[in-house]
Amino acid sequence: MPKNFISNKDETVRMFENDFLEALSRVHYTVPLYIFLPVIAYFLYKSIQFSLSISNIILFILIGIVIWSFTEYSLHRFIFHFPAKSEFGKKIHFTFHGVHHDYPSDTKRLVMVPTVSIPLSILFYYIFESIFGDILVAPIFVGFIAGYLFYDITHYAIHHFNMHSKFWLVIKNHHIKHHFENPGLGYGVSSPIWDKIIGTDFSQKK
């Protein structure tokens, strides 16, 4: 397992001896769009079918986006960067997220693989359904999944697209600092807002 190593090339490292598991650990960045854009369309249709007003649909979509943004921050901080101490824990951490910090330009390991994103989305759907009910879960889930897609594509873009606008440069620089300045700060990928609120943002004095 690589330690204290960062590759700036679009190269990968094998994580599993089994070819099938190894294939499941890689994914093209457009795959989440093919999987989850139809999901968004379906639940948007359900929102309209439930005769929710346009204003209510928009409101609860925005609530779903906010829920995703906090989920993104929490997953990145507490799951992807959990403080592993045992060798087994370090191997699990490397498989989940450490590999990305060692190979940040690996194009096939920049978005969440479907074997993780699909079960997580199902889990969150039923959590939201139990909290918000059968009707409001539809627009909230639209916002949640839209936020997730924005996160995934933004993460890929940060590492591989040239960005020129101030908006995108703020997001990119925030994440690049997480990689190369301090991985213990800057957990927001698609937005630095929760880092600013919670106090895990980078010092502006630098």
| Three-state secondary structure string covering 16-84 | CCCHHHHHHCCCCCCHHHHHHHHHHHHHHHHHHHCCCCHHHHHHHHHHHHHHHHHHHHHHHHHHCCCCC
Instruction: Identify whether 71 is part of a domain.
Output: yes
Q: What is the pLDDT of residues 63-102, one digit of tens each?
A: 999 999 999 999 999 988 888 778 877 788 777 788 888 8
**Residue 202, in any domain of the structure:** no
Residues of the domain holding 40: 20-164
Q: What is the pLDDT of residue 1?
A: 38
Q: pLDDT, tens digit, for every residue of 142-152?
A: 999 999 999 99
47 within domain boundaries? yes
56 found inside a domain: yes
* Digit-coded pLDDT (tens) for 20-33: 888 888 999 999 99
- DSSP per-residue codes, 85-144: -SHHHHHHHIIIIIHHHHSTT-GGGSS--HHHHHHHHHHHHHHHHHHHHHHHHHHHHHHH
162 vs 44, 86, 125, 170, CA distance in Å? Answer: 32, 39, 35, 13
- With respect to residue 5, please indicate whether it lies within any of the assigned structural domains: no
Q: Give the pLDDT of residue 81.
A: 87
* 138 within a domain of the structure (yes/no): yes
Q: What total of structural domains would you count in the chain?
A: 1
| Residue 43 covered by a domain | yes
Residue 30 lies in a domain: yes
Cα 40 from Cα 23, distance rounded (Å): 27
